[in-house]
């Protein structure tokens, strides 16, 4: 199949050098019309990206405010590159958004369901109400043969159950098929991961469903993207298994960090040495405060819960300790900061740098950074939180915290500066200029993201999780009162 290079004006930001096919558009005679049900982080990114690739796309959500923003060209969350792609997709006429499910049912040939599956209140299980509602409301309106495709992360068995449910509801009966196409997006890289994924997984029950999905991803498959075609249960399991493995790798190196803290070893050098083993690799082997966000924590809990329901809980019981190690990093961070300031946080001014669970995101769901800031506040510290993008969302979660609008404002008269999210703004900040704004040049690097040498050379007392502590070079604007309280012989070396 051949493609021709489109005019530069039609797709100015598409980079043909990343693909052997120059035209991102699907073959017209095979191109299905797509609906995307749910326009949160996953759904909005998928809708915009598929329209950018040349498909006619209708995004659907029950939230009229969100729909209005998207139709106006405004992305209701922070994701690098997505606003530009949204503007281009809207201008092309291939993308629009609606709250009308009747319109969606008539419009779409392939319907992608991208609604959330949060953790149930008071349980580790996934809350499937939104998925169930989306499938049933859509199925009740469908009168011709189309494909319903789940992209949400769900427990094994959900697709099979939904298939029976929608076939019972739909006028089409058994002719209505369900497929599963798990997503593997990284926040901060979601557009890239949608347009150029490292793999596609199709969970299908028939050759027809596979063909429809191939048509819906034709430009991506034309790049040579690896494709796994499998059954529904395996497709569901791929995402849960992948996230559980990544979470395990993060918690493993943080468990080693605990060992390093007790022995005086350096966890960053340990991670580097382990990562050079090609059987292990360095990705996700990054010691620090731990993982958070809307995926890894709730996905490993849901996976463990579902395994217990199936009577195989022992097979994934280790995920409970993976979760526990991750939570302990937050408690250990607070203990370290308390130790650094002399054992009592009451009245200590803390510059908390970061609130999002990771850089290049405004997501504060289960964010270790925000939890640490809150715990410091509850112990009596005067905490000033600064995050380049997540302050609004953080304020919704913890409105009693103080939020700075700039880095300088957060640093003003701080007794201790704590790096909680490794934004580039913090990684590249000049420690000399930072030191001129604080009361005490004491920094706790919970992400092992700063240069100890740069900070020590600028007179900072540098502490980090899992690393030996070295005394700083004294400087004149250091708070002598805080210096006097620092316990350099405590039992918790880092």
Q: Which helix (H) or strand (E) holds 433?
A: helix 431-435
Beta strands 177-180 and 461-464, pairing class: unpaired
DSSP conformational letter for 420: -
Burial of 123 (0-12, 13-18, 19+ CB in 10 A): exposed
Phi, psi of 224 (to 5 degrees): 90, 15
Q: How far apart are CA 225 and CA 18, in angstroms?
A: 11
Contacts of 198 (CB under 8 A, 6+ apart): 184, 225, 226
Q: How far apart are CA 220 and CA 371, in angstroms?
A: 39
- Tokens of residue 272, six digits: 């580097």
Q: How far apart are CA 350 and CA 386, in angstroms?
A: 11
- Tokens of residue 357, six digits: 């669970």
Q: How far apart are CA 435 and CA 168, in angstroms?
A: 67
Contacts of 28 (CB under 8 A, 6+ apart): none
Q: What's the distance, CA 394 to chain centroid?
A: 15
Q: How far is CA 255 from CA 155, 270, 288, 315, 327, in A?
A: 28, 12, 10, 21, 11
Query: Locate tokens 């997501």: which residue?
Result: 363
Query: Locate tokens 């990093």: which residue?
Result: 329
Whether 295 is catalytic is yes
- Tokens of residue 263, six digits: 């022995």
Q: What's the distance, CA 207 to chain centroid?
A: 33
Q: Which of 114, 260, 295, 494 is catalytic?
A: 295
Residues with active-site annotation: 295
């Amino acid at each position: 199949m051949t493609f021709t290079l489109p005019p530069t004006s039609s797709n100015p930001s598409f980079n043909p050098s990343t693909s052997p096919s120059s035209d991102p558009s699907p073959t017209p005679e095979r191109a299905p019309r797509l609906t995307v049900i749910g326009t949160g982080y996953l759904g909005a990114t998928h809708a915009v990206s598929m329209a950018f690739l040349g498909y006619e796309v209708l995004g659907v959500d029950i939230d009229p405010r969100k729909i209005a923003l998207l139709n106006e060209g405004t992305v209701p969350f922070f994701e690098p590159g997505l606003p530009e792609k949204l503007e281009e997709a809207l201008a092309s006429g291939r993308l629009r958004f609606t709250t009308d499910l009747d319109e969606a049912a008539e419009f779409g040939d392939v319907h992608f369901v991208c609604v959330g599956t949060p953790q149930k209140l008071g349980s580790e299980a996934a809350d499937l109400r939104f998925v169930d509602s989306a499938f049933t409301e859509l199925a009740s309106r469908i009168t011709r043969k189309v494909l319903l495709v789940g992209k949400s992360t769900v427990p094994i068995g959900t697709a099979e159950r939904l298939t029976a449910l929608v076939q019972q509801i739909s006028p089409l009966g058994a002719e209505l098929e369900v497929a599963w196409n798990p997503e593997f997006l990284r926040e901060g890289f979601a557009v890239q991961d949608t347009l150029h994924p490292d793999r596609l997984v199709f969970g299908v029950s028939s050759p027809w469903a596979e063909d429809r999905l191939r048509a819906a991803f034709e430009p991506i498959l034309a790049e040579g993207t690896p494709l796994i075609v499998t059954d529904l249960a395996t497709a569901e399991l791929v995402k849960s298994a992948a996230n559980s493995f990544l979470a395990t790798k993060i918690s493993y190196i943080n468990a080693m960090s605990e060992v390093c803290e007790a022995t005086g070893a350096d966890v960053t050098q340990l991670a580097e040495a382990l990562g050079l083993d090609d059987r292990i690799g360095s990705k996700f082997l990054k010691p620090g405060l731990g993982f958070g966000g809307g995926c890894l924590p709730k996905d490993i809990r849901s996976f463990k819960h579902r395994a217990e329901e199936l009577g195989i809980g022992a097979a994934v019981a280790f995920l409970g300790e993976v979760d526990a190690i991750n939570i302990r990093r937050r408690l250990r961070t607070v203990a370290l900061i308390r130790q650094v300031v002399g054992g009592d946080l009451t009245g200590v001014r803390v510059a908390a740098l970061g609130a999002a669970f990771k850089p290049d995101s405004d997501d504060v769901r289960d964010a270790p950074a925000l939890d640490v800031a809150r715990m410091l506040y509850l112990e009596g510290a005067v905490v000033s939180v600064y995050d380049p993008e997540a302050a609004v969302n953080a304020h919704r979660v913890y409105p009693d915290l103080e939020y700075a609008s700039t880095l300088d404002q957060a640093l003003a008269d701080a007794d201790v500066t704590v790096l909680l999210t490794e934004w580039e703004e913090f990684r590249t900040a000049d420690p000399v200029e930072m030191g001129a704004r604080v009361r005490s040049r004491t920094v706790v690097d919970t992400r092992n993201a700063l240069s100890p040498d740069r900070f020590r050379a600028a007179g900072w007392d540098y502490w980090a999780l899992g690393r030996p502590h070295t005394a700083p070079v004294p400087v004149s604007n250091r708070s002598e009162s805080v210096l006097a309280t620092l316990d350099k012989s405590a039992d918790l070396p880092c």
